[in-house]
Structure 1
């Protein structure tokens, strides 16, 4: 087993030992689908795509804006990354391990949401390729934002504070707390340029049988590249 694989497995074990993290990223999306499925009968109205979009977007936001930056900033604060510089294992392997675990959890969450929705009575995403593209770009864009927070936050507490601020701003403007149909037009326009808002709408479009709108995909790809490059340039190991 390679050093990278061992670190990824170790990070996965640490994640599984945190019941709150597992509940927020896997249990809560399932609870959202089941609870709304019991209350509201799925139908043809586009508002019904809000519920799977909510479950997926909420979990991705928790993973990328709360867990990822707090963990990595905590490793730096505790000197773990600095100490790895004295070993043959480069500290970047910890970062890669965290990304691998976060990506695996995100995929597992998406499978849970799709499967639960199908059991409850929701149709499968009407545009499968569009759904996969929206999910992958959405996850990458949000992870890149989380990595930038981890790159600039000197402590885990500050990373948590910044992540929570970004979390609530994205949730409010992105049509996650409240469906886009109930938001004023100016908030929808702002949400179109936010990673969570673009992800939410792209997932909803693909679930409803439409290919995600190009502007949303361009926004997600641009955020991934810009924030990803910025985090790579600014990330401090000490």
Structure 2
């Protein structure tokens, strides 16, 4: 990155960080809600026939935690952020300066990325200790985290393009919040589903990220499989980024 780009990213990060702390309800949504979901999903997963399918509880909870936090702490939050800043004409004013479009979007999202990564690191570390499951493929886990962050940010920009107002964000994000975890192995491992369905759901947007994170603790993916999952996640990210580039609106509809 060039020096001006870094400077702009830091400035946007500081602005969003300050605004985040002014609204105390942000702590409830970004911290408490994912924690409650994780507790609930732990109860659900204990009722699944995991051992019959050779699934370890520790790595499964690691991938579940990662998926939940990426969707709730990053995707839904960044979608709302983009729409709110557009309605406030912040994005329009930023574009009149020297800041490039990708930097505006990345800089705005950087604060939520930092929060999400911190949450994932803390939760995953705690789960590893609780279940005695140490990482076996750190590179696979790192690839899963990076592709997940990029994918959720691109999805947020695409979803924001569909939203007319901040109030419409809740409706626009519902498909990803409710459907995406169900089809990507976040809530229910694909191994417990019928074989044909499980194989088909491998191509769901977030499935590769979940597989990579779980393999980081189980070591179940071979090198070619890891590269395939990374490429698939990258392809989904590129698709959403392309749609966002064509459809993203920088000012309110008139």
CA contact (8 A) 2:184 2:207 kept: yes
Aligned-residue Cα RMSD (Å) equals 3.0
> TM-score, normalized by length of structure 2?
0.77
CA contact (8 A) 2:154 2:241 kept: yes
* Length, aligned pairs only: 232
Rate the CA distance shift 1:162–1:12 in 2: closer, same or farther, 3 A: same
**How many Å separate the matches in 1 of 2:37 and 2:176?**
20
Aligned counterpart, 1:22 = 30
Among 12, 15, 23, the alignment partner of 1:10 is 15
Cα deviation, 1:87-115, whole Å, max 9, x if unaligned, reads 67677654222221132123212211232
Per-residue deviation, 1:10: 2.0
CA contact (8 A) 2:94 2:104 kept: no
Aligned counterpart, 1:57 = 67
Unaligned runs of 5+ in 1: none
**How many Å separate the matches in 2 of 1:131 and 1:71?**
27
Say whether 1:141 aligns with 2:151: yes
Unaligned runs of 5+ in 2: 1-5
> TM-score, normalized by length of structure 1?
0.82
Rate the CA distance shift 1:6–1:27 in 2: closer, same or farther, 3 A: farther
**How many Å separate the matches in 1 of 2:11 and 2:35?**
26
Aligned counterpart, 1:122 = 132
Cα deviation, 1:104-127, whole Å, max 9, x if unaligned, reads 123212211232023313322210
